[in-house]
Amino acid sequence: MIKRVSHLGVAVRDLDAAVRLYRDVFGLELERRWTSAGEGMEAAAFRVGDLEIELMQPLDDSSPVGRFIARRGEGLHHVAYAVDDVAGALQAVEEAGVEVIDRTPRPGGEGKTLIGFLHPKSVHGVLTELEQDAGLG
């Protein structure tokens, strides 16, 4: 089912400061930056080998990332795994007793992926994203 780790999502309070750290101190190249009104966040992505690091700043305190920072502070928000069929993967894990947040896939990654999240309490405390390339670029 899982092909590889796709990306790590990191919740940050100040995206500009986080971008400077990853770019100027760690020496990574900024791949892209975007705003997702639907997710209530602004994000930036860096690549380390085959792995993407996704920095996420909430647009407001009521967004998912905003609530995460309020409860837990900045830090690792989620681990995303690439799968061939996110709908099938969501169904399979739910049938195996894993609590899902998304029963059906939804658009993610600027509309270029289909995603579904698994509840952290069913995955040893880690918010887990399943991600499928939507073939849109």
Residue written as token pair 């900045």: 74
CATH class of 2-133: alpha beta
Report whether pLDDT(135) > 80: no
Whether 34 shows a pLDDT value over 80: the answer reads yes
- pLDDT tens digit sequence for 93-107: 999 999 999 999 999
CB 115 within 8 A of CB 128: no
What's the pTM value of the predicted model, to 2 decimals?
Answer: 0.92
Question: Is residue 137 over pLDDT 90?
Answer: no
